[in-house]
């Protein structure tokens, strides 16, 4: 997937343990029947582990940008919590 490669490239170029990549159709134009406006892919990456999810939001560009931002942050928080819980268990 494109977002997985994007997240990997960010981690490598910025020398970070964590990265987020987003791609999609925010709108109001650009949608197709296969990828309608509001279709977004978010990839979070931490220590070579990735979580990639597809979301389908609405037709409002502003709402799609806000929802994408919120979901990307939430997805990264969940990944960080999972990592912390694994680390605490060891």
Residue 68 confidence (pLDDT): 98
Q: What is the pLDDT along the chain (90 residues), one digit of tens a residue?
A: 899 999 999 999 999 999 999 999 999 999 999 999 999 999 999 998 999 999 999 999 999 999 999 999 999 999 999 988 888 887
Q: Is the peptide bond before 75 cis (omega within 30 degrees of 0)?
A: no
Q: Which one of 3.40.50.300, 1.25.60.10, 3.30.1280.10, 3.90.950.20 gives the CATH number of domain 2-84?
A: 3.90.950.20
CA angle 9, 55, 81 (to 5 degrees): 65
Residue 87 confidence (pLDDT): 80
Give the phi and the psi of residue 55 in degrees, each rounded to 5. Answer: -125, 150
> Which single residue is written with the structure tokens 């605490």?
88
Q: Domain coordinates of the chain in residue numbers?
A: 2-84
> Which single residue is written with the structure tokens 């892919």?
41
Residue 86 confidence (pLDDT): 83
Residue 63 confidence (pLDDT): 97
Residue 90 confidence (pLDDT): 76
């Amino acid at each position: 997937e494109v977002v997985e490669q994007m997240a990997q490239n960010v981690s490598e170029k910025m020398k970070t343990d964590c990265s987020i990549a987003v791609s999609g159709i925010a709108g109001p134009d650009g949608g197709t029947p296969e990828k309608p406006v509001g279709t977004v892919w978010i990839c979070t990456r931490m220590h070579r582990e990735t979580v990639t999810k597809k979301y389908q939001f609405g037709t409002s560009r502003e709402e799609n940008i806000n929802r994408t931002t919120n979901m990307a942050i939430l997805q990264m928080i969940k990944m960080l919590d999972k990592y912390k819980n694994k680390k605490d268990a060891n």
